[in-house]
Structure 1
């Protein structure tokens, strides 16, 4: 008899966000949902990148992608926030600092309401 598979165990050939990283991303996501700016998200875990896609509406393309590429950790940094048009808004070694690119967007969203 084999041991039951863990449903969320990371696969060795896939890149994934760890619990702390996901907590940081979801914290920013939750604030933007509360401000009425974002509505949905999706995650993809591939062999070279983990992607957290952010949507304004569920039926459109993502407006932002938060990417983790460990292969780049010694160069520009493993984390990046990428806009819908492909522009890299911020890249770095510290996910918390990279996610600060959304701080200005949150302030603008709160000032509009």
Structure 2
């Protein structure tokens, strides 16, 4: 987490979440833009596309090993703390909808520009 308060502060999300312990750190207010997503010149303004734009990064990578167990996907982790984090997101008025269905890819290009506003 020190990366986002040090040299990486220009790339910080709103929330960094550990799905194994439930701990999370908030780097920006929900009403402020975060900086984890790249805005291409002339492209969708991913950091400012709504009243509340919340970027969450998890301390996870595919096939990571924690306490001797391998987790292929984020959804396979214990997802500790997600209920609290989800309640906070909902309290900000963010609708619980998935316009493209639940995320299944870790691709940075998972959402086409025409779907981003929804």
**Which structure has the highest strand share of the two?**
1
So what's the TM-score if we normalise by structure 1? Answer: 0.29
So what's the TM-score if we normalise by structure 2? Answer: 0.28
